Amino acid sequence: MLIKSYFILLFTMLVDLDHLFATPLFDACRCSIGFHPLHSYIAIIAYFAMFLYPKTRIIGLGLLMHMATDAIDCVFIRENCF
């Protein structure tokens, strides 16, 4: 169970693949939240719904934690880039 959770959480990092559709591919001063399709507010609401549903709870949790770390990133971006 623990191993399975570990791989599910690892798998949630794949949401960053949506960065591949952005130009430029990587921009250190760009806030992911609200910019990339899988980091949009609608997507975050969907992740929260997944978290509330027991069968997809771990995936939802992983995705929400990912959004939280990206949001923390945005705070530093605001302080250092503008």
* Cβ distance to Zn ion smaller for residue 58 or 63: 63
- Sequence-ordered list of residues with C-beta below 8 angstroms from that of 70, at least 6 positions apart, any chain: 31, 32, 33, 39
Report, in Å, the least distance between residue 54 CB and Zn ion.
25
What are the residues binding Zn ion (CB under 5 A)?
Answer: 16, 32, 70
Nearer to Zn ion by C-beta: 3 or 20?
Answer: 20
Q: Closest Cα to residue 68, out of 54, 51, 82, 55?
A: 51
Decide whether 16 or 27 has the Cβ nearer to Zn ion: 16
Amino acid (one-letter) located at 42: I
Give the separation between CA 61 and CA 28, rounded to whole angstroms: 25
We find the least distance from the C-beta atom of residue 4 to Zn ion, in angstroms, to be: 23
Least spacing, CB of residue 61 vs Zn ion, in Å = 15
